[in-house]
Structure 1
């Protein structure tokens, strides 16, 4: 068997969806489907024999659903899990994000047959995500949310990063994240009180259809109010804002939120860098920027703009990232004044800033 081969276990009760997934992964040189299961029970029985590199699971299945399977896998056979689901309604996405809280790494909309161009785009995106997630190391303790962990890890040494900390009173907190972001956002936002004296604006790269579920999940899990921004809103203290799907979020000269369907930046709309740069232009030294886990480099240039404007900048450290892409790029630019493990970011914000 070739070294580095990604061994896939597909868990899907729909014959049509299963056939489509098998078609997507067929003849991909670095991937092999080593097992298929119709529900969680069948998957658990297969895992010891097929030893998957990555499990792709549906959400709704008979006998044992995706959430129950994830909990069992993370307790018994820790393995990267990608949720491939058609559940984009709010009530279903609540369950999807509970799966992420239980230890699954990411979500992806279930591919559909249709226009050839749409199928090829979905196939390309799915293969790229599988390649990234297959290299992630997971542990049994990921069965519980990272937000419940006790902050004990020390900050990562900043090396050549400028560690002179801005002591200006912040007026806004801006956060960017991608792969692994929902879990990381929960860990950062959940400890913050509803009396937080500043607003928070966030950009999270997420598959189409899942944003409202993310917002609802965070809103029900945090003391802060979490909502989707509306054009012209002025950010209010104690409220967390996300841009609507496929919209950049910026702050104009009057301090209002501007939402636009502009061209992707660093491959993304919304873009973390677009948000960070607008915050740097308006708030200057009176902002805090936090860049969390994610693949690619979106947010790195934006965090550098914040640092150059005098804002406090924080990047998540490598050990606690699902994917150390975006923070790594920002650190390489010298844009992060603090490099912190995920479970130390909220305590740092509360104890040192707010």
Structure 2
């Protein structure tokens, strides 16, 4: 189903989808409120949702659909204005699975690649199981943290893919503002959107969130994200390192690349956190961190939008604890010996 207020975009996307033998467009809505009603009536497999629409934007429409009839939603946008990008990030937190740029028209040099990205995203997300979020009254009770062998952990590395942004936001909001370690993150996300994710999290969390810069010394209490199309790791000095080395597990940036680098440089003073995602990126990195003596926290597959990354790590027997998202921040705070942020 398509929710799009632009006649030009509706026409183009309708023709694009009609040309695919494995896809059928079951409905079209011209604005968010009509999109919510159509989703309840049509029950489509996937919804393509414009981020920026009058009256009801993509975020509010996504939130209502996920409350009333949870559906696989892909947010797309042609605008890189901060307000529109923030709407896209809020939509991911509300339950949308992915965000992509609207495809270019046939006269553009990137027409083929941009249309293939949209079609590939539709096909991939159509296989994802829709997961309801924990209602506030049903959050699991706090569990005891691991009794740490030491309190001098020096680096936290995190990896996430599909379903990761909202879980990252929940964890970072609840990490102590007095966090004595840096946090480095690889989040698989469509090209062009990692800066918007960083900006959104920087406004939402009690920490400084930024894109990593090569040669930078990571500071305690700061969160560093891998930029588009760069491998994030660590130099022997511990400084951040960005390279254009080949993809690993099909990804650049790669979670396993970050985790393996942390294992080599930080050893048992690192902590690894692997969250929701598709594929096996991160499993090998978890194995190497575990072999180096680092604790590994993995999101409970039952709470994941896509569970294959956590399941791959669990299957490798390299995890210390499997936890619901609400408990991961508490576990980290306990491991490093600080109190939580008391954020809601």
TM-score norm. by structure 2 comes to 0.89
Corresponding residue number in structure 2 for 1:158: none
Cα distance in 2 between the residues matched to 1:255 and 1:114? 46
Residues 1:138 and 2:131 are matched in the alignment = yes
- 1:88-167 to structure 2, matched below 5 A, reads 88-114=80-106, 118-134=110-126, 135-139=128-132, 150-152=139-141, 167=150
Partner residue of 2:192?
Answer: 209
Equivalent position to 2:253, from 270, 279, 290: 270
Distance 1:297 1:61 in 2: 36
**2:20 paired with 1:28:** yes
- The match for 2:180 among 197, 214, 237 is 197
Name structure 2 gaps, 5 residues minimum. Answer: 338-344
3-state SS of 1:34 partner: coil
C-alpha distance in structure 1 between counterparts of 2:173 and 2:30, whole Å: 35
Q: Which range moves more in the overlay, 80-89 or 127-136?
A: 127-136
CA contact (8 A) 2:102 2:118 kept: no
Pair 1:194–1:153, CA change in 2 (3 A): closer
Query: Given that residues 82 and 108 in structure 1 are in contact (C-alpha distance below 8 angstroms), is that contact kept between their aligned partners in structure 2?
Result: yes
Q: Secondary structure at the match of 1:310?
A: coil
| Residue 70 (structure 1) aligns with | 62
Instruction: Output the CA distance in 1 between the equivalents of 2:106 and 2:149.
Output: 53
Correspondence list, 1:1-80, <5 A: 9-80=1-72
Q: Secondary structure in 1 aligned to 2:229? A: coil
Q: How many Å separate the matches in 1 of 2:234 and 2:130?
A: 37
Closer, same or farther: CA 119–325 of 1 in aligned 2, 3 Å: farther
Superposed displacement of residue 153, structure 1: 7.6
Which segment drifts farther, 43-52 or 79-88?
43-52
Determine helix, strand or coil for the equivalent of 1:33.
coil
* Structure-2 separation of matches of 1:220 and 1:213: 11
Residue in structure 2 matched with residue 283 of structure 1 by the alignment: 266
In the alignment, structure 1 segments of 5+ residues that lack a partner are 1-8, 156-162
Q: Judging changes above 3 Å, is the alpha-carbon distance between structure 1 residues 77 and 292 closer, same or farther for their aligned structure 2 residues?
A: same
* Stretch deviating more after TM superposition (195-204 or 101-110): 101-110
d(CA) in 2 for partners of 1:343, 1:193:
14
1:255 maps to what in 2? 238
Classify the secondary structure of the residue corresponding to 1:259: strand
What do the CA deviations read for 1:65-97 (whole angstroms, capped 9, x no partner)?
A: 212211221232222211011233333211211
2:280 maps to: 297
CA RMSD of aligned residues (A): 2.5
Q: 1:194 to 1:11 in 2, by over 3 A?
A: same
